[in-house]
Structure 1
Amino acid sequence: DADRCESCYGAESEDIRCCNTCDDVREAYRRRGWAFKNPDTIEQCKREGFSQKMQEQKNEGCQVYGFLEVNKVAGNFHFAPGKSFQQSHVHVHDLQSFGLDNINMTHYIKHLSFGRDYPGIVNPLDGTDVTAQQASMMFQYFVKVVPTVYMKVDGEVVRTNQFSVTRHEKIANGLIGDQGLPGVFVLYDTCHPEEN
């Protein structure tokens, strides 16, 4: 129904006057900075089975593989629960749908490299298997990337990178600030050694 205009449960604004879906209500709440704690009291969410969908997904994990092209400057990539969005030019995650006591960030890194492989290269995160000892853990991998030139016996030159890594972990409270967010974060920086 094109004329339908359902309640935003007090979160209406100039931009959002109607909330016809559960996501509309969640977005209106997010823009107000309100917690979205009980979807079972919101008609749109009940109709769409929001709580049931969240319950069905609570023990799911994911398998991620692929390639990233990054600039030769410091940066990060991460895997974290929640819906991501930009707020005041900051990348944040909406964790309102999750109970922080239920977030399990156990992870396995089969392979991670920065550039092409060459014989004998050691990628220190390959085979990393970490079991989160508590809920809502934040795992940070601080990676220092070093440009490397490998010359094969046939004279072919392979320009690639090696890296070292330090892992830090802590319990995250899910709020912006010093406590951080639950997830697996790879924070990388490049090192530019002097050449002779």
Structure 2
Amino acid sequence: MSFYGIMNRVFSRVRNLDAYPKINEDFYSRTLSGGVITLLSSIAMMFLVISELAMYLQTVTETKLVVDTSRGEKLKINFDISFPSVSCTLLSLDAIDISGEQHLDIKHAIIKKRLDANGNLIQVRIDQIGVPKLGKPIQKHGGEIEHNQTYCGSCYGAELSSTECCNSCDAVREAYRRRGWGLMNPDSIDQCKREGFVQRIKAEEGEGCNLSGSLQVNKVAGNFHFVKSFHLANMHVAHDHVKPFEDDSYNISHKINKLSFGDHYPGIINPLDGVQWFQHTANGMYQYFIKVVPTVYTPLRGTVIRSNQFSVTEHYKGPEVRKNSLPGIFFFYDLSGIKVNFTETHTSFLHFLTNICAIVGGIFTVAGIFDSFVYHSQKALKKKRDLGKLG
């Protein structure tokens, strides 16, 4: 048998497998109802295909809860808080955790903005501890600093070793804080006098302050708080300098412009953003109790974002129950043992193709059944009418 004969036999057998036998056009019968059904089914088919395409292109976020097994990580706290009735010099940021680690009067990566009584910006200040440059500093053992001599300022009895130096007013205050002592009249401290510390506080009287920045703390329960500086809590100064340091002038009214734990991710809600509270009396303590939930966001494209979301409750302690605690704003946070994983996904192309075929085939089949029912119903009614059986 020739090659062409073999091919004809193969093609003949394949032709016999045709599941879609063709009907001669001479036997076609087109009806108005069929045209209407075809038009409606085409519109429905197009609508469903477009909807399926939109779902295919849309990103879906899946949520999964797992036990948080991470260890040794740090917790990043971002904040932007305004205090309309507390000057920047009198405002101190501290952070303490249950492991015993303490960071008092934090200055690193913190920006202080002086505000007037109307909340308008006066000055931006980044606090730093360094060697003062005003006037001629006095050496630790007396006398002014000589040419090419390294400066070493006195800590006024608060140093922990004979070699310790306090080269600025902040350094002296820090040394007194470590000892748990109250600083005496700052004008008697050479570093504070040269830096004009008391004059600066008096000049800022009636001002407000905005603090913004971030903290890196251990990923354990703890708290951070904005209070009157520890160094000023027991300060005794001359009578004409008393007013700026009195607790009665420390009003803890505040507005939280931003507070978050970790980096931003799509869809995050920080419940304290924009919250404000105004105090009508002094010497209060406002407390926020925060439950931090570790969160991992995995985008469809890009890097994984490790962040946190949180819930919060609030409590206010008035001066009558506050007793020995400092007035201020306290944020107590605790970590949840459950981690939330958000993962962006979208429908696979094969699933999309399957749905398209199901839509086209399903509508085509249903429309064909409905058209057949209408056609045969019309045919039966016509036959009865021809036979005169219809009243």
Q: Write the mapping of 1:38-77 to structure 2, written as runs, cut at 5 A.
A: 52-77=199-224
What residue in structure 2 maps to residue 102 of structure 1?
249
CA–CA distance in 1 between the matches of 2:264 and 2:189?
54
What residue in structure 2 maps to residue 149 of structure 1?
296
What residue in structure 1 maps to residue 125 of structure 2?
none
CA–CA distance in 1 between the matches of 2:176 and 2:264?
47
Show structure 1 runs of 4+ deviating over 4 A. Answer: 1-5, 12-15, 25-36, 47-53
Structure 2 gap segments, 5+ residues each: 1-137, 144-155, 160-168, 236-244, 341-391
Percent identity of paired positions between Structure 1 and Structure 2? 47
Rate the CA distance shift 1:191–1:178 in 2: closer, same or farther, 3 A. farther
Rate the CA distance shift 1:14–1:131 in 2: closer, same or farther, 3 A. closer
CA–CA distance in 1 between the matches of 2:297 and 2:180?
54
Rate the CA distance shift 1:99–1:121 in 2: closer, same or farther, 3 A. same
TM-score, normalising length from structure 1?
A: 0.64
Give the paired residue count: 171
Structure 1 contact 39–50 (Cα < 8 Å) conserved: yes
What residue in structure 2 maps to residue 87 of structure 1?
none
Shift of 1:193: 1.7
Structure 1 contact 172–180 (Cα < 8 Å) conserved: no
Shift of 1:187: 1.5
3-state SS, counterpart of residue 111 of structure 1? strand
Shift of 1:106: 1.5
1:115 maps to which of 243, 247, 262: 262
The letter of the residue matching 2:331 is V
What residue in structure 1 maps to residue 126 of structure 2?
none
Structure 2 contact 291–311 (Cα < 8 Å) conserved: yes
CA–CA distance in 2 between the matches of 1:118 and 1:14?
47
Structure 1 contact 109–129 (Cα < 8 Å) conserved: yes
What residue in structure 2 maps to residue 8 of structure 1?
none
Structure 2 contact 158–175 (Cα < 8 Å) conserved: no
Structure ID, larger Rg: 2
What residue in structure 2 maps to residue 185 of structure 1?
330
Higher helix share: 2
Q: Write the mapping of 1:162-177 to structure 2, written as runs, cut at 5 A.
A: 162-172=309-319
TM-score, normalising length from structure 2?
A: 0.35
- Higher relative CO (Cα under 8 Å, sequence separation at least 6) belongs to 2
What residue in structure 1 maps to residue 271 of structure 2?
124
CA-to-aligned-CA distance 1:45-97 (integer Å, 9 cap, x gap)? xx877765443222232221112112210122221122xxxxxxxxx453234
CA-to-aligned-CA distance 1:12-39 (integer Å, 9 cap, x gap)? 9797xxxxxx99x999998696795x88
Rate the CA distance shift 1:135–1:161 in 2: closer, same or farther, 3 A. same
3-state SS, counterpart of residue 234 of structure 2? coil
